[in-house]
Amino acid sequence: MNPYELTIAQARGQLVAGTLSSRELTQSCLDRIAAVDGEIKAFLVVNPDQALSQADEADRMRAHGNSANLCGIPLSIKDLLCTKGTATTCGSRILEHFVPPYDATVVEKLKGQGAVILGKVAMDEFAMGSTSESCVFQVPENPWKPGYVSGGSSGGSAASVAALECPGSLGSDTGGSIRQPASLCGIVGIKPTYGLVSRYGLVAFASSLDQIGPLTRDVTDCALMLNAISGYDPKDSTSVSRETPDYGTSLVDGLHGVRVGVPQEYFGEGLDPEVRAVVNHGIDLLRQAGAEIVQVSLPRTDYCVAVYYLIATAEASSNLARYDGVSFGFRDKNARSLMEMYKESRSQGFGAEVKRRILIGTYALSAGYYDAYYKKASQVRTLILGDFNRAFGQCDVLISPVVPTPAWKIGEKADNPLAMYLSDVLTISANLAGIPGISVPGGFSRDGLPIGIQLQGPHFREDSLFKVAYNLERGLDLPPQRPAIA
């Protein structure tokens, strides 16, 4: 087995045993990137010299007793997390040359453990999209079927892990942007509870919805990465001060006493029959593992898309007002007045999808419309949270599809924003409620495209999600398959 094929846990075992060095592991990943990324197009920036230097330092750290789980492990980083000395573009022209003077807290934590940062990966511009097609630099492709989307907005993160370019990546999830690409690329991805992971150094899209989380090849690796990045951060006002458990202790066999809820609204019209079959098989496996399966209802599911695209766009309009060509970022140099400079810098710097969402959000916040749109959406959001709270009174974890269909061809929905928005219908509710959700590979379509299974839990019960996800993964026992890119 080539080193780049190892999971985080497998690589850690060899690093601890001394049969593999971090330099060897990192070089193997760099060679893999050089071999396949021309087709996958996951990486926007690769820093081989920096990565090898970090790998050498990790080898020294381990030789001196550093036992951190991620010491010496090569990872990729979504390009909206600030990385000191390396460009952070958010997939946008307006930040094309922006180099942060500091690291995001999660990046700082990874470096503190001795992790190796390979580079930055592609994403939808400012995380606004479901396919990564709005990235102005390149569009990452699905490693299982080139020419198909890898998902979004963390498409580069998912593609880099699925293509075996790295064993793990950090992404962000505002309406499903970790879980959806994880599902479409056949890997594991978790959106933690809002407030569990620091957002300091995350370039904001929608501040009340954004959350950072890991994407990995299996559930064990996902728990290892979440252990490394979770915890209170005084630099983030939304960070929650509470003790975080070792999620690895949740990875145990058996689900006796666990109640798994099946929300009927997530299995309605528009769900692909192959997706339905994969999820139903997952439900049967959880029942065999000892779980009690109960039917629950989330009656306001139909309102989630409308509520999300009012709240998210309104917050995006506010957050992106800072990109005006004055302090940093792209500036139109031909403008003849201050107002023209503002207008032209934003018109040229932002792509079509970002401008569409800014316009929607500005309208929703405008005088005379705030109460009718943003305020009303916020009120319905509270009702949606109430639905989840009632459901979790009947069960410990919810199971459902992640995406209504397997991956689709690049460009297939490019001219239909509404169809693109509806692809997130099963994931956005977790962001509105602030609860955790995880995508676990469940199987494949007849065309060889991955299909994920989603689990959602109450606030700060990632331990329950990992327990169920681990048993689901073991029950499925999917045969080892390599993506088409191999």
List, by residue number, the catalytic residues: 78, 153, 177
Q: Are 470 and 449 in contact (CB under 8 A)?
A: no
Distances (CA, A) of 380 to 207, 275, 384, 433: 18, 29, 6, 11
d(CA 49, CA 39): 23
Tell me 413's DSSP state: T
Strands 259-263 and 292-296: parallel
Q: Are 235 and 374 in contact (CB under 8 A)?
A: no
Q: Which pair of tokens denotes residue 18?
A: 């001394």
For tokens 């199971």, name the residue: 399
Q: How many CB atoms lie within 10 A of CB 204?
A: 20
d(CA 395, CA 323): 44
Helices (H), 114-269: 155-162, 179-185, 219-229
* Nearest Cα to Cα of residue 131 among 430, 450, 447, 424: 424
How far is Cα of residue 462 from the mean position of the Cα atoms in its chain? Answer: 15
Map residue 83 onto helix, strand or coil: strand
Amino acid symbol at 132: S
DSSP string, 367-380: TTTTIIIIIHHHHH
What is the torsional sign of CA 438, 442, 443, 444?
negative
Is the backbone of residue 291 left (phi > 0), alpha (psi -120 to 50) or beta? beta
